[in-house]
Amino acid sequence: MKITLSVIKADIGGYVGHSHAHPDVVEAVKEVGKEAVKKGTLIDCDVLVCGDDIALVMTHTHGVDSPVVHGLAWEAFQRGTQVAKKLKLYGAGQDLLSDAFSGNVKGMGPGVAEMEFEERPSEPVIVFFADKTAPSAWNLALYEMFADPMVCSGLVIDPKMHEGFTFEVLDTFTGKAVKLSTPSELYDLLALIGTVERYAVRSVWRNSDGEIAAVASTQRLSLIAGRYVGKDDPVLIVRAQSGFPAVGEILEPFARPWIVEGWMRGSHNGPLMPVSFRHATPSRFDGPPRVIAAGYQLSEGKLIGPRDLFDDPAFDNARQTAQMMADILRRQGIFEPHRLPSEEMEYTTLPKILKKLEGRFYNLEEGKKEPVEHQQHADVD
Ligand code: 13P
Ligand code: 13P
Ligand code: MG
Ligand code: MG
Ligand code: MG
Ligand code: MG
Q: Residue 20: give its domain's CATH number.
A: 3.30.70
Residue 358 lies in a domain: no
For ligand 1, say whether the CB of 153 is within 6 Å of any of its atoms: no
Beta strands in the chain (DSSP E): 2-10, 44-50, 53-60, 111-118, 123-131, 165-171, 177-181, 199-206, 212-216, 235-239, 259-262, 268-271, 273-274, 290-299, 302-308
Judge if 65 and 135 occupy the same domain: no
Ligand 2, atom 4: nearest CA belongs to which residue? 230
Judge if 108 and 130 occupy the same domain: no
Judge if 125 and 97 occupy the same domain: no
For ligand 1, say whether the CB of 246 is within 6 Å of any of its atoms: yes
Residue 50 lies in a domain: yes
Q: What residues have their beta carbon closer than 5 A to ion ligand 4?
A: 11, 51-53, 131, 233
Establish whether 18 is an annotated binding residue.
Answer: yes
Is there a contact between 5 and 237 (Cβ–Cβ < 8 Å)? yes
Residue 365 lies in a domain: no
Residue 350 lies in a domain: no
ipTM of this predicted structure: 0.89
Residue 176 lies in a domain: yes
Residue 296 lies in a domain: yes
pTM (predicted TM-score): 0.93
**Among 118, 151, 179, which residue terminates a domain?**
118
Judge if 31 and 170 occupy the same domain: no
Helix axes 138-147, 186-193, angle to 10 degrees: 170
**Alpha carbon distance 288, 281 (integer Å):** 9
**11 belongs to the catalytic site:** yes
Largest CA distance in the chain: 80
Judge if 156 and 187 occupy the same domain: yes
The tens place of each residue's pLDDT in the chain, 381 residues long, gives 899 999 999 999 999 999 999 999 999 999 999 999 999 999 999 999 999 999 999 999 999 999 999 999 999 999 999 999 999 999 998 888 887 788 888 878 899 999 999 999 999 999 999 999 999 999 999 999 999 999 999 999 999 999 999 999 999 888 899 999 999 999 999 999 999 999 999 999 999 999 999 999 988 777 777 766 666 899 999 999 999 999 999 999 999 999 999 999 999 999 999 999 999 999 999 999 999 999 999 999 999 999 999 999 999 999 999 999 999 999 999 999 999 998 888 777 888 888 999 999 999 987 665 555 544 443 333
Nearest C-alpha neighbor of 75 from the set 90, 58, 91, 61: 58
Judge if 210 and 311 occupy the same domain: yes
Judge if 108 and 27 occupy the same domain: yes
Geometric angle at alpha carbon 345, from 16 and 269, rounded to 5°: 75
For residue 222, give the H/E element and its range.
helix 221-225
Is there a contact between 239 and 125 (Cβ–Cβ < 8 Å)? yes
Establish whether 160 is an annotated binding residue.
Answer: no
Catalytic residue (one of 143, 148, 199, 231): 231
Establish whether 90 is an annotated binding residue.
Answer: yes
Residue 308 C-alpha from the chain's centroid: 18
Judge if 57 and 186 occupy the same domain: no
Residue 18 lies in a domain: yes
Would you tell me how many other CB atoms lie within 10 Å of the CB of residue 211?
A: 18
Is there a contact between 82 and 75 (Cβ–Cβ < 8 Å)? no
Judge if 221 and 294 occupy the same domain: yes
How many structural domains does the chain have? Answer: 2
Would you tell me how many other CB atoms lie within 10 Å of the CB of residue 344?
A: 18
Residue 93 vs residues 16, 51, 356: alpha-carbon distances, Å: 15, 15, 34
**188 belongs to the catalytic site:** no
Residue 239 lies in a domain: yes
Q: How far is the CA of 18 from the centre of ligand 4 (A)?
A: 6
**Alpha carbon distance 124, 185 (integer Å):** 28
**Alpha carbon distance 333, 331 (integer Å):** 5
Three-class SS state of 116:
strand
Smallest-distance ligand from the CA of 92: 3
Range of the domain at 22: 1-118
Judge if 42 and 135 occupy the same domain: no
Is there a contact between 107 and 100 (Cβ–Cβ < 8 Å)? no
**Alpha carbon distance 71, 6 (integer Å):** 12
The type of residue at 38 is K
Q: How far is the CA of 290 from the centre of ligand 4 (A)?
A: 10
**Alpha carbon distance 41, 113 (integer Å):** 19
Judge if 142 and 252 occupy the same domain: yes
**Among 67, 92, 118, which residue terminates a domain?**
118
Catalytic residue (one of 11, 44, 46, 95): 11
Judge if 81 and 204 occupy the same domain: no
**Among 118, 135, 160, which residue terminates a domain?**
118
